[in-house]
Amino acid sequence: MSQNTAASRAPSFVTRVVTGMLVVSLSTAFLLATIAAFTAAALWQQQERHKMRVTAEALLDAIDHEAREEGWSLERAAPEAVAESGVVGYRVEVWNGERLATANLAGPTAGPPRGSERSAEWLIVTRPVSRDLVLLVAAPRSRGGEVVRVFAWSLLMAAPACIALALLVGRFVGRRATRPLSEFTARIGALRPLETLPALAKDDSPREVLELQSAFRDLWQRLAETVARELEFAANASHELRTSLTRIRLHAERARDQGLEGRADLDAQLVELDRMVRLVDSLLVLSRDVACGVPRGEVVNLADVTRSAARRVFASDQTVLLEAPDEALVSGDEDLMGIAVENLLDNGQKFARPAGRVVVTVEHSEDRVRLSVTSEGAAVTETDRGRIFERFYRGPEARANSAGHGLGLPLSRHIARLHGGDVECVSGAEEDARFVLEVPSWRPSVVV
């Protein structure tokens, strides 16, 4: 499945907003209806109990009044008072122990009272009439269910309106919220490769959209710079390779025309081939990602690597002053470190003045190993300082006095960064040119 197909099948932001609004609306309606139903049921019970207490107190007064007026006992006066009370909506019972003395309605009884007013089917209020008689006023709990059913029907009837409102509001909010993103997508889609990005959206756009556009502009700028560097790198590399191939062809043609006398041209051809091999090797190293580092690094004695590189670069030349300890251990690739050190030494030799020396020092501390190469009598101008680590860059003096590809210093820096370090020019414009390579020291693994 292509990315475009997957993107077309993914739900849009508007769809997600509408779905969220539907879920929130229905959930809120259900929750509010449920809370309202239970609240109404509780309020109904409270109100009913209050009315039942008032009814019970009125019945007690009626029984007492009937007994005094007629000169009857309370047990005889209770049925008469209950019958004459005319209570509607409640069941009234008078109990003598476990025996029902009288009731205002026929049907199932709510008593006898058990010392508690709790019942699964009835709301009950009891009042003592005498030592033996108990007045009971009851209302069926099923009336409370009617309240819940009313709210359930209210929810059912309100659901379509909630859904319609959620759809309308969700689509409006979703489209309004995603309009800056849609406009940004349209601007990006209309761009050509490496074309300058258009201006940011207006200040009234949401903060998240402005942050997204700013981050995208930064990423776009970095990508454009990377592509530009790669294009320049490819152009320079192709130029260098084409130049070497042209020279090899010329030497081969001369050697073919001169027979045995063309040995010098064959030797020059071998030199060109060696230069091409070094160039290709350098390009391969430069193609490595610094973020990946050097896998499976070994322990490397940078002091020994520096001494070996100095013997190759300076041969019997006595103009080099080398100071290095017996050991300066780092973790990495010994061959790569050899290339980096040799390039620094070769650079120092090329640009040192005839009467000047090349001073090479290796210093070792607990955290870092530092290699310093100083060319006496040479200096790095401010113009060159900003470009000497660019690939294939060679200053005017370098082009005039020595051969090369302009990859020595960039390659040394790249190798140092592969090892977690760096190469810097630390000298001022009026000082002897000094380049420093620093990499982390090797530390033994701690076995727990």
Amino acid at 357: R
Residue in the block written with tokens 């349209």: 186
Q: Do the beta carbons of residue 90 and residue 57 sit within 8 Å?
A: no
Given a cut of 60, is residue 311 above it in pLDDT? Answer: yes
Least confident of 129-143, 244-258, 357-371: 244-258
Mean pLDDT confidence for 237-261: 69
Q: How confident is the model at residue 448 (pLDDT cuts 50, 70, 90)?
A: very low
Q: How confident is the model at residue 337 (pLDDT cuts 50, 70, 90)?
A: confident
Taking the C-alpha atoms of residue 294 and residue 417, their distance in angstroms, rounded to an integer, is: 10
Predicted pLDDT of residue 318? 60
Given a cut of 90, is residue 18 above it in pLDDT? Answer: no
Residue 187: CB atoms within 10 A of its CB come to 15
Residue 121 tokens read as: 């089917």
Predicted pLDDT of residue 113? 85
Q: How confident is the model at residue 406 (pLDDT cuts 50, 70, 90)?
A: confident
Taking the C-alpha atoms of residue 263 and residue 285, their distance in angstroms, rounded to an integer, is: 33
Given a cut of 80, is residue 249 above it in pLDDT? Answer: no
Q: How confident is the model at residue 2 (pLDDT cuts 50, 70, 90)?
A: very low
Q: What are phi and psi of 293, to 5 degrees?
A: 65, -160
Given a cut of 60, is residue 416 above it in pLDDT? Answer: yes
pLDDT tens-digit map of 39-82: 877 888 889 899 999 999 999 999 999 899 988 888 889 999 99
Taking the C-alpha atoms of residue 412 and residue 409, their distance in angstroms, rounded to an integer, is: 5
Least confident of 121-135, 179-193, 318-332: 179-193
* DSSP label at residue 445: P
Instruction: For the chain, list the domains and their CATH numbers.
Output: 13-145 (no CATH), 207-286 (1.10.287), 293-440 (3.30.565.10)
Q: What is the pTM of this model?
A: 0.46
pLDDT tens-digit map of 120-150: 888 999 999 988 899 999 998 887 777 667 7
For residues 232, 234, 239 and 244, what is the CA-based torsion angle, rounded to 10 degrees? Answer: 140
